[in-house]
């Protein structure tokens, strides 16, 4: 490193450490001062305050008189943690579960031990407290399929409309580099128009879940101090005679809390299957291997899918284009953010999204997310650790790019065919589950991703990009030196080495028909065969949405509230409903008991 780079590294490291000390202080302050009152019994208990859990809590508090509590394993955070530009600083912090995959055979080869990190929020607000805030509906016909004909496309669109007008304030990206406009022009040169609601192919500037430049999450919609207990890890569900009657928590001491009408598990796509398995609901072999007695055999933890991609620092510019680290530390920008809700601190990172088809059809199979910064922007002080890049790759590839101005055109698979699984490896609720996504294990995925990178190459070689000095990073990736640069074999090697998760895990408690061997919950989100137990979060999505997934998760949570909780309110208890088998059959009519 040159003296200048060493100085930059030093300054960034100091700032990042200061932020991290601040985060610890906030965390411990919350841990030792919270003295929330806990009742012994509620109508509903919600596990997890993420996108789904907080949305359900918001609706319960606004539209019903039910008593409920939200139990959140993570801490509360501070308003500074909602500053959009600081999102990446939470990755790897005490507010991240810090999960990682098991060593991958075909992917993540540039990471230590071939393990990809899996950032997931462990704080009030969940993963959306550290996401990129991109709001995207995806293809609604896929959501119609999830419900197997129970709802029409119009009905699902109504719920997306509800989310967009009552749950999330949406804002067009307001601070961005010149790359955004250039990319839109470059896309047009290669035949992609601006994205609109009629067409799922094309490019557009990001639409964000922000209010006045501040990150907005579903937990910002209600008085969390009244309903959410933070730093409370749920260890286990209490199930008696095939009915969930409450949960067991271990903080501040081991106690049981009871739920009269239901327990709603919204712990996210890794922790929801973990909690079900710990409670005896899951594949028999997994439960037996850790001596958990089987209550109900269901394919919990199977069908794990994630949007994965590549492309970090693959595009270089001759001149600085981006929101640099020094822009973010600039006091004028701090003033702009706090006084006006504008400026560099409102940046979501990703400025443009694009949807393309690698096989010349009309249905997109690859998404681009354009970030004007690369992992080298902080000289290795933080971002590289959040991905677990090896020293060898860092020294031989990324650190050589310090004098260039790198950007990331993150190229990702929308509908990967590789399917993985999550399983507990012990009865101890404090241990992380074993996550094996089997990234790129299906050969089609490698092929589609390689074709996606080829479209990216075309995009970079346009006149629009050349005009601002954009070009491809032609340095061979370590481990792929034997192939001709950008040949098919080179790109295959490249995507297997530099595999990146967009942290969109789904599918681990899949929704589907009750008779199907792959369903964990039915189309009213009830765990099959267990009364009063619901899973509502990313884990019930049986397939990946065609785009960023948060809007789809919020839509699902809203449908759960309207259909499973609220619609039953107006109905009185009737005789049939006292019989749980009949209740199962006519679930649309019976109120929640």
Ligand X SMILES: *[C@@H]1O[C@H](CO)[C@@H](O)[C@H](O)[C@H]1NC(C)=O
Ligand Y SMILES: Cc1cc2nc3c(=O)[nH]c(=O)nc-3n(C[C@H](O)[C@H](O)[C@H](O)COP(=O)(O)OP(=O)(O)OC[C@H]3O[C@@H](n4cnc5c(N)ncnc54)[C@H](O)[C@@H]3O)c2cc1C
Quick check: 51 binds ligand Y (CB under 6 A)? Answer: yes
Angle between helices 153-162 and 550-560 (to 10 degrees): 100
Quick check: 556 binds ligand Y (CB under 6 A)? Answer: no
Residue 234 is labelled as binding a ligand: yes
How many other C-beta atoms are found inside a 10 Å radius of the C-beta of residue 142?
Answer: 17
Which of 321, 336, 501, 550 binds ligand X (CB under 6 A)? It is: 336
Per-position x/- string for 116-155, each x denoting binding to ligand X as judged by CB under 6 A, each - no binding: -----------------------x-xx-------------
Quick check: 572 binds ligand X (CB under 6 A)? Answer: no
Q: What string of H, E and C letters represents the secondary structure of 348-367? A: CCCCEEEEECCCCCCCCCEE
The residue (of 137 and 496) whose beta carbon lies closer to ligand Y is 137
How many other C-beta atoms are found inside a 10 Å radius of the C-beta of residue 249?
Answer: 23
Neighbour order of strands in the sheet with 214-215: 170-172, 207-211, 214-215
Residue 538 is labelled as binding a ligand: yes
User: Who contacts 124 (Cβ-Cβ below 8 Å, separation ≥6)?
Assistant: 49, 72, 74, 75, 76, 77, 219, 224, 228, 230
The residue (of 357 and 376) whose beta carbon lies closer to ligand X is 357
CB-facing half-sphere around the CA of 131: CA atoms within 13 A: 25
C-beta nearest to ligand Y: residue:
50
Give, as ranges, the residues between 260 and 279 that touch ligand Y (CB under 6 A). 266-268, 271, 275
Residue-wise DSSP of 529-570 = T-BTEEE-SGGG-SS--SS-SHHHHHHHHHHHIIIIIIHHHT
Which of 8, 23, 50, 343 binds ligand Y (CB under 6 A)? It is: 50
233 and 73 Cβ atoms separated by less than 8 Å = yes
Instruction: Choose the one of ligand X, ligand Y, none that binds residue 520, judging by a C-beta under 5 to 8 angstroms depending on kind.
Output: none
Distance of alpha carbon 514 from alpha carbon 382, whole angstroms = 46
Two tokens at 437? 């996504």
Using alpha carbons, select from 533, 12, 551 the residue that is nearest to residue 279: 533
Using alpha carbons, select from 166, 172, 160 the residue that is nearest to residue 210: 172
Phi-psi region of 451 (alpha: psi -120 to 50; beta: other; left: phi over 0): alpha
Strand-pairing partners, residue 501, are 308
Two tokens at 251? 């903080």
CB of 339 to ligand X, least distance (A): 7
Per-position x/- string for 282-321, each x denoting binding to ligand Y as judged by CB under 6 A, each - no binding: ----------------------------------------
Q: CA gyration radius for the chain?
A: 24
Which of 177, 200, 224, 266 binds ligand X (CB under 6 A)? It is: 200
Give, as ranges, the residues between 58 and 117 that touch ligand X (CB under 6 A). 64-65
CB of 431 to ligand Y, least distance (A): 12
Instruction: Choose the one of ligand X, ligand Y, none that binds residue 482, judging by a C-beta under 5 to 8 angstroms depending on kind.
Output: none
Instruction: Choose the one of ligand Y, ligand X, none that binds residue 512, judging by a C-beta under 5 to 8 angstroms depending on kind.
Output: none
Two tokens at 189? 């040169």
Which of 23, 100, 120, 347 binds ligand Y (CB under 6 A)? It is: 120
Which of 59, 117, 122, 261 binds ligand Y (CB under 6 A)? It is: 122
The residue (of 57 and 265) whose beta carbon lies closer to ligand X is 57
Per-position x/- string for 355-394, each x denoting binding to ligand X as judged by CB under 6 A, each - no binding: ---xxx-xx-------------------------------
52 and 44 Cβ atoms separated by less than 8 Å = no
User: Who contacts 65 (Cβ-Cβ below 8 Å, separation ≥6)?
Assistant: none
Quick check: 48 binds ligand Y (CB under 6 A)? Answer: yes
Quick check: 542 binds ligand Y (CB under 6 A)? Answer: no
Q: With H, G, I as helix, E, B as strand and everything else as coil, classify residue 279.
A: coil
Query: Which ranges of 95-174 would DSSP assign to H, the alpha helix?
Result: 140-146, 153-162
Quick check: 541 binds ligand Y (CB under 6 A)? Answer: no
Instruction: Choose the one of ligand X, ligand Y, none that binds residue 132, judging by a C-beta under 5 to 8 angstroms depending on kind.
Output: ligand Y
Quick check: 75 binds ligand Y (CB under 6 A)? Answer: no
Binding site for ligand X (CB under 6 A): 64-65, 139, 141-142, 200, 290-291, 336, 340, 342, 358-360, 362-363
Return binding residues for FAD.
Answer: 234, 538
Binding site for ligand Y (CB under 6 A): 47-53, 71-74, 119-122, 126-128, 130-134, 233-234, 266-268, 271, 275, 503-504, 537-538, 548-551, 553
Return binding residues.
Answer: 234, 538
């Amino acid at each position: 490193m040159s003296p200048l780079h060493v100085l930059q590294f030093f300054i960034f490291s100091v700032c990042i450490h200061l932020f991290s000390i601040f985060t610890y202080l906030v965390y411990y302050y919350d841990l030792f001062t919270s003295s929330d009152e806990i009742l012994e019994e509620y109508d509903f208990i919600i596990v997890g305050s993420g996108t789904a859990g907080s949305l359900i809590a918001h609706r319960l508090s606004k539209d019903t008189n039910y008593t409920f509590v939200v139990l959140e394993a993570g801490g509360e955070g501070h308003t500074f943690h909602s500053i959009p530009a600081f999102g990446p600083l939470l990755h790897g912090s005490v507010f991240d579960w810090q999960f990682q995959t098991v060593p991958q055979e075909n992917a993540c080869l540039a990471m230590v031990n071939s393990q990809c990190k899996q950032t997931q929020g462990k704080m009030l607000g969940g993963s959306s407290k550290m996401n990129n805030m991109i709001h995207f509906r995806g293809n609604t016909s896929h959501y119609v399929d999830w419900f197997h004909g129970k709802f029409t496309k119009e009905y699902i669109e109504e719920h997306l409309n509800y989310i967009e007008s009552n749950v999330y304030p949406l804002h067009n990206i307001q601070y961005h580099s010149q790359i955004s406009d250039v990319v839109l022009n470059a896309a047009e040169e290669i035949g992609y128009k601006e994205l609109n609601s009629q067409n799922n192919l094309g490019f557009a500037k990001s639409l964000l879940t922000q209010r006045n430049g501040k990150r907005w999450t579903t937990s910002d919609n209600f008085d969390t101090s009244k309903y959410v207990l933070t730093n409370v890890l749920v260890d286990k569900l209490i199930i008696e005679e095939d009915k969930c009657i409450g949960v067991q928590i271990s903080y501040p001491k081991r106690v049981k809390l009871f739920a009269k009408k239901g327990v709603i598990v919204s712990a996210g796509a890794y922790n929801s299957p973990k909690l079900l398995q710990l409670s005896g609901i899951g594949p028999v072999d997994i439960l037996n291997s850790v001596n958990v007695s089987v209550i109900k055999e269901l394919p919990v933890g199977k069908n794990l899918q994630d949007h994965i991609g590549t492309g970090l620092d693959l595009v270089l510019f001759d001149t600085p284009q981006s929101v640099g680290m020094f822009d973010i530390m600039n006091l004028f920008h701090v003033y702009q953010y706090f006084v006006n809700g504008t400026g560099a601190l409102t940046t979501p990172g990703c400025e443009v999204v694009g949807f393309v088809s690698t096989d010349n059809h009309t249905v997109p199979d690859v998404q681009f997310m354009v970030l004007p910064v690369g992992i080298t922007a902080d000289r290795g002080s933080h971002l590289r650790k959040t991905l677990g890049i090896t020293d060898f790759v860092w020294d031989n590839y990324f650190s050589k790019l310090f004098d260039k101005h790198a950007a990331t055109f993150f190229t990702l698979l929308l509908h990967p065919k590789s399917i993985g699984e999550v399983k507990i490896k012990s009865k101890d609720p404090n241990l992380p589950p074993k996550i094996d996504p089997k990234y790129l294990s299906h050969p089609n995925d490698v092929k589609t991703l390689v074709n996606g990178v080829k479209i990216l190459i075309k995009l970079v070689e346009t006149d629009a990009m050349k005009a601002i000095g954009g070009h491809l990073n032609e340095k061979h990736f370590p481990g792929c030196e034997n192939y001709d640069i950008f040949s098919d074999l080179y790109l295959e090697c490249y995507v297997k080495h530099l595999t990146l998760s967009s942290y969109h895990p789904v599918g681990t408690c899949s929704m589907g028909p009750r008779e199907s061997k792959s369903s964990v919950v039915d189309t009213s989100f009830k765990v099959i065969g267990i009364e009063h137990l619901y899973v509502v979060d990313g884990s019930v999505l049986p397939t990946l949405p065609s785009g960023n997934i948060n809007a789809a998760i919020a839509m699902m949570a809203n449908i759960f509230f309207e259909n499973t909780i609220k619609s039953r309110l107006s109905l009185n208890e009737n005789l049939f409903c006292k019989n749980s088998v009949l209740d199962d059959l006519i679930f649309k009519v019976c109120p929640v008991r």
